[in-house]
Amino acid sequence: MQILAPDGSTVGDPDVGLSTERLREALRWMIVARRLDRECIALQRQGELTVYPGFEGQEAAQVGSALALGADDFVFPTFRELAVALVRGVDAVRYLWYHRGTWHGGPYDPRATRFGPICIPVATQVVHAVGYAMGVRKDGSDAVAIAYVGDGATSEGDFHEGANLAAVFGAPAVLFVQNNGWAISVPTRDQTAGEIWKRAEGYGMPGVRVDGNDVLAVYRATAEAVTRARRGDGPTLIEAMTYRIGAHSTADDAGRYRDDADVERARAFDPIARFRTWMLAEGRVDEQAVEAFEHDADAFAGSVREGLVAQDPPPAEWMFDWVYAEPPSILDRQRREALG
Amino acid sequence: MAEHSMAEHSMVGALNQALHDALHDDERVLVFGEDVARLGGVFRVTEGLRDAFGPERVFDTPISEAGIAGAAVGLAFAGWKSVVEMQFDAFSYPALEQVIDHVAKMRMRTRGRVDMPIVIRIPSFGGIRGKEHHGESPETYYVHTAGLKVVTPSSPLDAYRLLRHAIVDPDPVVFLEPKARYWPKETGALTFDEPGIGVGRVLRDGDACTLVAYGAMVVRCLEAAEQLAADGIEARVVDLRSLSPLDLDLLERCAVQTGRIVVVHEAPRTLGMGAEVAARVMELAFDHLEAPVARVTGWDVPYPPASLEQRYLPSVERIAAGARAVVSY
């Protein structure tokens, strides 16, 4: 599925059901997300974050899919969905506590924004999304769960188990694969011999492949999947084709396994440039507004930096505070030993 | 809450009643796993539950242990309390990543915002002439994982009590069911009372030494204690029940009062519960010990085939010999 060609011209119906206001919101989030992503890489270089996994090039896949979700829908992310988190209203400083080494998982309140803990064990969150979807269905809610994974995650057993369970139970879930071409150093062609979206048929659910750098197409594909799930017609597998412009993380040296020329070629498919071109040509936004978005993005990145560097290391009590609801006496003894 | 009068119960029946009563008392409780609904479980622990509570609350899953444990995590985010069954000890291993990375850690990972009231029932241990992968003692894997509680009953009445406590616990509980004790009967009333998780029990008093055990080995220790009594050695028998958290107060008391400790388990000796009990007793009551802590355990070998399992499991004779050794030290 594609609506916007890389040059910003349309190859499909651009009326995906988003008002001009929402389209501007999408562009703004993409610009803000990229700016914050670059700020995070700088913060890591300056020692303010530990390892940081960038997502440049995946802004359309993340913002487009996130905008298709309702307030009650629940996101089960990987560690690379900062743009989704921003759209969901997750506090960016709290989110980045994770990458600052302040706390694990979801230092924000995952229930308040319905954005689950950052999940590193590959594909394990797929099953959580499916369980959550089964659970809300039992309560008669029409809420939907969405699991984000990468192309590499589709090789994991938990991806298969989650997909199979979702289909068997007709769970209101969306399995959203961002195929960014790379699982650290392994290209998709060495990860899987087939096409990921086509596996859906074997599971007994619809599968769709979408241009992941086309925010309109991503929005439409996700909105259709969410609608299907909401009305009780079960899960959908979406494969969004995108490209990881940066390295796997700040600890990675992508030059060891891919050519810079490939990355430069991929930049021609940039999701923000394409959408901005179309928005300007359509008169949905003007240059002044885009400049204002960029200014907002700078200010936002600055405020996140400020909030983050002000964060002191957490108290050592935190190691003990949430291991159990009520600490057993055997752990209390250790707590006293550790804290003196 | 259900009231039960005096009757004869097998552990299978007591566990079934506990699940029935928990499903009845709390409509957020779900029971699911492989073959638990139509069949009632390969050991019939879940028999009749689907008929009583319907397929929305008691359901079969595909063969998918990681999926079962992971779905329980997602269901907990949605406010459900899952009681899941792993069909056999060794079949719980595909779920270890979910259990260690998420079930055990999600409270910590969400800074206490999300409870994980999940019970993972696992028919465990040996002694029933099972095939390979059907007789393992997986407790150390779980006990070594912070955030989990690990319990195992040794009798039908205590199985009922412990499972009721496990299901109302806001934290995840790995519930190891000793297959060899599934069918022997015990007479009494099924009661949801104390002691709960974290507390061990003295099943036989004595002052010459303490036999510390859990699961099916408790009964062998009681038999060994009878043999020893015939020779004038009065052994105390402790059922740990709760492998995590351990009842340190009880271990300390037994070490102080009897001065001699024998730990008995089916699991291989190396890094088994015996190692932990010995270390704790040494830390808590070294000056009271009259002999080194003895370990009577399975060997450091893979669980053997049916025809050799009684050569692997601690026998009553080995337990009694271990007790005599510490008493005469």
DSSP-assigned states of every residue in B232-282: T--EEEEE--EEES--HHHHHHHHHHHS-EEEEEEEESTTSHHHHHHHHHH
Minimal-distance CA residue of chain B relative to A132 = B74
B168 and B33 in a common domain: yes
How many Å apart are CA A246 and CA A253, to the nearest integer?
9
Pairing of strands B149-151, B173-178: parallel
Residues B145 and B252 in one domain: no
Write down the pLDDT at residue B3: 72
pLDDT of residue B2: 65
Residues A260 and A323 in one domain: no
Q: What percent of chain A has pLDDT over 90?
A: 99
Q: Are A199 and A211 in contact (CB under 8 A)?
A: no
B188 bridge partner residues: B7
> Is B1 inside any structural domain?
no
Element (H, E) at A238: strand A236-241
Give, for B107, the enclosing helix (H) or strand (E).
helix B106-109
A249 located within any domain: yes
The three-state (H, E, C) secondary structure of A3-33, written as one string: CECCCCCECCCCCCCCCHHHHHHHHHHHHHH
Q: Are residues B71 and B122 in the same domain?
A: yes
Burial class for B182, CB neighbours closer than 10 Å (0-12, 13-18, 19+)? buried
Within the 55-114 window of chain A, which residues sit less than 8 Å (CB to CB) from chain B? 74, 76, 103-107, 109-111
Give yes or no: A244 in active site.
yes
Interchain contact, A106 vs B72, CB within 8 Å: no
Decide if A107 and B56 are in contact by the 8 Å CB cutoff: no
Contact A161 B73 (CB under 8 A): no
Size of interface A-B (CB pairs under 8 A): 147
Of A124, A138, A325, the CB nearest to B102: A124
Residues A336 and A194 in one domain: no
H/E segment holding residue A189 = helix A188-191
Amino acid A286 reads D
CA A212, CA A199: separation in Å to the nearest integer?
18
Q: What angle do CA B90, B96, B99 make, to 5 degrees?
A: 130
Q: Are residues B224 and B123 in the same domain?
A: no
For residue B97, is it within any domain? yes
* A12 is a domain residue: no
Assess A140–B contact: CB distance below 8 Å, yes or no. no
A141 plus A82 within the same structural domain: yes
**Do B173 and B222 belong together in one domain?**
no
With CB atoms and an 8 Å threshold, state whether A165 touches B75: no
A206 and A336 assigned to the same domain: no
**Are A296 and A326 found together in one domain?**
no
Distance CA A89, CA A111 (A): 12
For A190, counting Cβ atoms within 10 Å of its Cβ (0-12 exposed, 13-18 middle, 19+ buried), the class is exposed
Report d(CA B284, CA B257) in Å as an integer.
13
Tell whether the torsion through CA atoms of B54, A161, B68 and B265 is positive or negative: positive
DSSP A115: B
The verdict on B171 and B103 lying in the same domain is yes
Q: Tell whether A323 is covered by a domain.
A: yes
Q: In B, which residues are within 8 Å of A168 by CB distance?
A: 61-62
Predicted local distance difference test score (pLDDT) of residue A133: 98
Q: Which helix (H) or strand (E) holds A287?
A: helix A287-309
- Report the gap between the CA of A158 and the closest CA in chain B (Å): 7
Are residues A333 and A220 part of one domain?
no
pLDDT for the residue A340: 87
Q: What is residue B63's three-state secondary structure?
A: coil
Q: Please tell me whether residues A264 and A337 are part of one structural domain.
A: no
In degrees rounded to 5, what are phi and psi of residue A60? -70, -40
In a domain, B248, yes or no: yes
pLDDT at B102: 98
What pLDDT is stored for residue B238 in this prediction?
A: 98
**CB of B252 closer than 8 Å to CB of B278:** no
Q: Are A325 and A197 found together in one domain? A: no
- Integer CA distances (angstroms), A107 to A43, A103, A112, A214, in order: 19, 6, 12, 31
Are the beta carbons of A330 and B171 separated by less than 8 Å?
A: no
Residue that the structure tokens 């009684």 belong to: B310
- Does B194 fall in a domain? no
Interchain proximity A110–B78, CB inside 8 Å: no
Within 8 A by CB and 6+ apart from B227, the residues are B316, B320
What pTM, to 2 d.p., does this model score?
0.97
Domain annotation covers residue A11: no
Q: Could A164 and B111 be called an inter-chain contact, meaning their C-beta atoms sit closer than 8 Å?
A: no
The residues on B that touch A, with CB distances below 8 Å, are 56, 61-62, 64, 66-67, 69-80, 94, 97-98, 101-102, 105-115, 146-147, 149, 169-171, 198, 245-246, 248-249
Q: How many domains does chain A have?
A: 2
Tokens of B155: 């009798």
| A269 within some domain | yes
Q: What is the spatial distance between Cα A257 and Cα A239, in angstroms, rounded to a whole number?
A: 24
Phi, psi of A65 (to 5 degrees): -70, -40
Pick from A111, A161, A330: CB nearest B113: A111
CA distance A144 to A181: 27
What residues in chain A have per-residue pLDDT under 50?
A: none
Peptide bond into B172 cis (omega under 30): no
> What are the backbone dihedrals phi and psi of residue A309, each rounded to the nearest 5 degrees, phi first?
-70, -20
d(CA B136, CA B132): 9
Range of the domain at A325: 316-340
Contact B226, B320 (CB under 8 A): no
B171 and B114 share a domain?
yes
A205 and A335, same domain (yes or no): no
Find out whether the peptide bond into A314 is cis, omega within 30 degrees of 0: no
Q: Which of residues B154, B188, B222 is at a domain's end? A: B188
CATH number at residue B215: 3.40.50.920
Residues B166 and B126 in one domain: yes
Distance between CA B50 and CA A252 in Å, rounded? 51
Residue found by looking up tokens 């692997």 in the block: B312
Same domain assignment for residues A184 and A253? yes
> Residue B58 and residue B51: Cα distance in Å, rounded?
9
Q: Would you say residue A300 lies in a domain?
A: yes
Tens of pLDDT along chain B (329 residues) come to 567 889 999 999 999 999 999 999 999 999 999 999 999 999 999 999 999 999 999 999 999 999 999 999 999 999 999 999 999 999 999 999 999 999 999 999 999 999 999 999 999 999 999 999 999 999 999 999 999 999 999 999 999 999 999 999 999 999 999 999 999 999 999 999 999 999 999 999 999 999 999 999 999 999 999 999 999 999 999 999 999 999 999 999 999 999 999 999 999 999 999 999 999 999 999 999 999 999 999 999 999 999 999 999 999 999 999 999 999 99
Q: How many CA atoms lie less than 13 Å away from B93 in the CB half-sphere?
A: 9
Q: Of the candidates B144, B166, B188, which is a domain's last residue?
A: B188
Does the residue A335 lie in any domain?
yes
Distance of CA B101 to the CA centre of its chain: 22
Token couple for B63: 């063969």
- The terminus-to-terminus CA distance of chain B in angstroms comes to 51
Residues B165 and B294 in one domain: no
On whether both B160 and B36 belong to a single domain, the answer is yes
Task: Enumerate the H helices of B131-237 as residue ranges.
Answer: 139-143, 156-168, 217-230
Q: What does the pLDDT read at residue B5? A: 84
Give the CATH number for residue B174.
3.40.50.970
Domain of B233, in residue numbers: 201-327
A43 is a domain residue: yes
Structural domain count of chain B: 2
